[in-house]
Structure 1
């Protein structure tokens, strides 16, 4: 029987590519997309200790937040199904699209969907709103949007401790929780580089500072030049790159998070950013269910 603590560590894949060979670089990929058949990547890392806490506290329900195509909602739904937790999803937007693949899966897992207006959704971090939800779901454990809290960082620090020795560790950055956990958990001789996927995400630096738990943490930097137009935006070059990595290197990517990360790595390599002989470990944070969402939106626009 699957338990919260017996999910095995994900493998490391080494990518052999002419660009990497030319500049004398080693690229290792931490394949967290392979952590579990349905609960992938950094979302499982963030959920693990939250679910353990929920169980230890004797609670049977959880409440969390997200957009209609959220990787966090997808992973949470699967975790609730697997570990017999009653789940409530506060979904941004006034209506539920029952054909949306993420929400359709959440319903199939037995979770209750609670659509709210965008105005109400903006209150999700306000203490008064949290108190209202806690009163409504009085036997439930609340997990923030994206899953980032102190327990989530504990799970990401566990990921950091599992990594091979590296000169650079790189990850895509959305809300900042994963990169903060890596910064806290890695030794100070490893440089952490976060590739932001949102346009205008300079504000994240302060939020990440506030999340970091270690007194002596790894040096880090955010790279803002690889968002390809913004969150869920893409370019033909990025799509071609994702296709090539899947076909030639058996590395499935999606263009929202992981595609932008690996595109950045190869672009920086060509620019001579990394010192020759450097070892780079890239975190594949999963999120491949996002491809279903992209296909759904494309088909919806064409009909």
Structure 2
């Protein structure tokens, strides 16, 4: 399967309620089945850097259901790199085959190192970097979620000239890299809205490290309790959206963002006759893992 960024078309979404605004979805999920959406954009220049500097190994960090872990493992397989995933949670090391994301990453050849949540919080420190160097030797480090200067460069390519006509650009936010890239390539007159998938306002600081304009706002009302937290209301929305449009939404990022956009439209947040562009950041591999959890709780599954 090849990468095809040209498949990322803007698809108009027919709203199930009356409104003067127009909503379009940028289908970044169509670029590739696994390395899709913002993961393709973030990894593009990181992989080019690794190749240029003769690295043969990529090392990165992530949780058990991380889209970034799956995408990095697949990128390693496709481009011929060894891959190492430093995974949050020591208790997971004997449950790889029970976890769809880790099982897939392992099938791509990824090596895992499971560390405690306390150690994982030190992922950006020199001490853990040195420990990993001693254990694994030389590697090209890619941060959790893939966010660094090279990732921002890739995410700046999400918007094209045809997108300059939109009044609002919307994206989900996990580590802040994607929305920072969108901010940096948007027009000053455009408003960029980041919908946080995590609880709290700390992402403002992370975005500010990379954002070069101030035409943005972080929306923190639609995290549904925090990262990877969902409820029946969100599942109903995702399934209704799929029935209406034929488009799959992941429950961690894009599903929450679009739920928020629909709610804000109905509550008059956007100016009349506004044109809104929402970015589908992919991450559909996470649906299987979420459905496994939902099935255990005897909850409605994601279609």
Q: CA distance change for structure 1 residues 162 and 299 in 2, over 3 Å: closer, same or farther?
A: farther
Alignment check: 8 A CA contact 1:30 1:163 kept: no
After superposition, give the CA deviation of every residue in 1:147-198 in whole Å (9 maximum; x if it has no partner).
0000000000111346622100001111111111111111111100111111
Distance 1:17 1:192 in 2: 21
Aligned with 2:156: secondary structure? helix
The corresponding residue for 1:125 is 124
Uncovered stretches (5+) of structure 2, i.e. residues with no partner? 299-303
What is the aligned residue count?
A: 294
The corresponding residue for 1:14 is 12
Aligned with 1:247: secondary structure? helix
The corresponding residue for 1:68 is 64
Distance 1:154 1:162 in 2: 16
Aligned with 2:157: secondary structure? helix
After superposition, give the CA deviation of every residue in 1:77-130 in whole Å (9 maximum; x if it has no partner).
111111111101111111321220000001110111111122222211112211
The corresponding residue for 2:150 is 151
Question: Is it true that 1:229 corresponds to 2:225 in the alignment?
Answer: yes
Alignment check: 8 A CA contact 1:170 1:282 kept: yes
Alignment check: 8 A CA contact 1:160 1:181 kept: no
TM-score normalised by structure 1 residue count: 0.92
Uncovered stretches (5+) of structure 1, i.e. residues with no partner? none
Alignment check: 8 A CA contact 1:31 1:283 kept: yes
The corresponding residue for 2:27 is 31
After superposition, give the CA deviation of every residue in 1:13-32 in whole Å (9 maximum; x if it has no partner).
1111242xx22111111011
Distance 2:20 2:5 in 1: 35
Alignment check: 8 A CA contact 1:205 1:222 kept: yes
Alignment check: 8 A CA contact 2:34 2:283 kept: no
> What is the aligned counterpart of 2:246 among 243, 246, 250?
250
